[in-house]
């Protein structure tokens, strides 16, 4: 598992847009232990934040097996499509997420993905059923939607 000190350093590289240092750090961690928990998540974050959207999408697809929660991968891919301004691809990605089979084990990740799905549907002008709205608690706060509002490239 990647420790918090390493994550802090990685965030510093991301904030400074020092992509070569971020990738070098991840390469070093992965070289020491290719099965380091969280490495695939952080690699996808760096690729996305670097603006290498296609590489991030490919990486996530190729490394799906490294994620315990497959819904989180669909969510990550959908948020990249969204940042690219491709709502249709984001919705298609989320439509295939295994929400129901993962909700018990990964409630927070699944709920955030479900909320993001509804958010993109609203933006796309698609109807949402009362059953879909009912799945989201009234006091739910979604971090991914806050990110989407702040980082969308086509806004």
Query: Tell me, what's the pLDDT at 147?
Result: 57
Question: Is 34 strand, coil or helix?
Answer: coil
Query: Tell me, what's the pLDDT at 146?
Result: 59
Cα separation, 141 vs 96, whole angstroms: 23
The string of pLDDT tens digits covering residues 7-65 is 999 999 999 999 999 999 999 999 999 889 899 999 999 999 999 999 999 999 999 99
Query: Tell me, what's the pLDDT at 141?
Result: 77
Rounded to two decimals, what is the model's pTM?
0.87
Closest CA to 116 of 68, 153, 149: 149
Q: Which token pair is 111?
A: 């709920």
* Buried b or exposed e, range 54-91, using 16+ CB within 10 angstroms: eebbebbeeeeebbebbbbbbbbbbbbbbbbebbebbb
pLDDT band at 144 (very low <50, low <70, confident <90, very high): low
The string of pLDDT tens digits covering residues 74-115 is 999 999 999 999 999 999 999 999 999 999 999 999 999 999
Domain residue ranges in the chain = 1-66, 68-155
């Amino acid at each position: 598992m990647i420790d918090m000190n390493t994550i802090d350093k990685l965030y510093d590289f991301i904030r400074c847009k020092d992509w070569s240092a971020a990738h070098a750090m991840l390469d070093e961690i992965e070289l020491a232990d290719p099965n380091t928990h969280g490495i695939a998540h952080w690699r996808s974050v760096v690729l996305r934040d670097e603006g290498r959207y296609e590489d991030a999408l490919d990486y996530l697809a190729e490394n799906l097996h490294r994620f315990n929660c497959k819904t989180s991968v669909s969510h990550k891919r959908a948020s990249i499509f969204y940042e690219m301004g491709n709502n249709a691809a984001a919705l298609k990605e989320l439509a295939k997420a295994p929400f129901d089979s993962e909700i018990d084990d990964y409630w927070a990740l699944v709920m955030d993905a479900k909320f993001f799905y509804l958010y993109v549907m609203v933006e796309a002008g698609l109807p949402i059923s009362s059953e879909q709205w009912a799945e989201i608690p009234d006091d739910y706060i979604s971090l991914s939607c806050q990110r989407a509002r702040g980082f969308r490239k086509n806004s």
